Amino acid sequence: MPASGAVTRSTLRQQIADALRDEVLAGRMRPGEEFTVKQIAEQYGVSATPVREALVDLCAQGLLDSDQHRGFRVRVFSVEDYKGIVEARALVVDGMFRRAALPGCPQVHGPALVSVRRRGEEAARAARGGDLNILVGYDLRFWRELCALAGNAYISDFLHRLRMQSWVFAVPHLRGAHDISACLWTGHDEVVSALGVGDFEAARVLIAAYNDDSLTWAERLPR
């Protein structure tokens, strides 16, 4: 019985964390928004313990900040923060592609890319249509699956965290854009196509251009 209870609590903790993460990534919980464990527990009709654990998990992922006197709040990322995140993810992906091109490294082309290609196609389609609700989820899955093929779970987890943080910054700004589709990257399937033929240099060039565009976009935002 104790083991079953532990599993139930762990599962509830994960469900709450997933639900709140989705709210933050969708921009429905906006940067700087404050709340307490009690408020979230009442919202979901659960006890405080799994809620507190879920919120601590999201703090560890860099999505929330905690204050022992005021509770929790959605992390506020500045333009400079975002530029640092873009630089970090650029270095990670560039290094991943360089490593993947070396003899004896796990292959990130061929049949293993089938699932990643599907994610990329859906992400690109959502970006072209300006559908952020669909894009964010598929974009995160695309990069997580692509990095997983490189065979290093630490790289995959680190990049996933960076990409979540970049979306937390970007989504509120994008929702206020006049032409949102013009601000969104649609090159997921192009990257997959390059990797599909083992052209790592072409993939690196595409990602470098994407990161440059991200920085240019951020520079135009009000400080």
Residue 9, pLDDT score: 57
Residue 49 phi, psi dihedral angles, 5° rounding:
-60, -55
Query: Nearest Cα to 49, choosing from 6, 81, 92?
Result: 6
Q: What is the pTM of this model?
A: 0.89
What's the pLDDT at 5? 44
| Domains contained in the chain, CATH given | 2-74 (1.10.10.10), 79-219 (1.20.120.530)
pLDDT at residue 212 in the model: 96
pLDDT digits (tens, 9 = 90+) for 47-66: 999 999 999 999 999 999 99
Q: Do 101 and 110 form a contact (C-beta atoms < 8 A)?
A: no
Beta-carbon contacts of 37 under 8 Å, excluding residues fewer than 6 positions away, are 48, 51, 52, 55, 71, 72
Rounded mean pLDDT of 172-184? 89
Contact indicator for 123, 138 with CB cutoff of 8 Å = yes
pLDDT, tens digit (0-9, with 9 covering 90-100), for 125-166: 999 999 999 999 999 999 999 888 877 889 889 999 999 999
Confidence class for position 70, pLDDT limits 50, 70, 90: confident
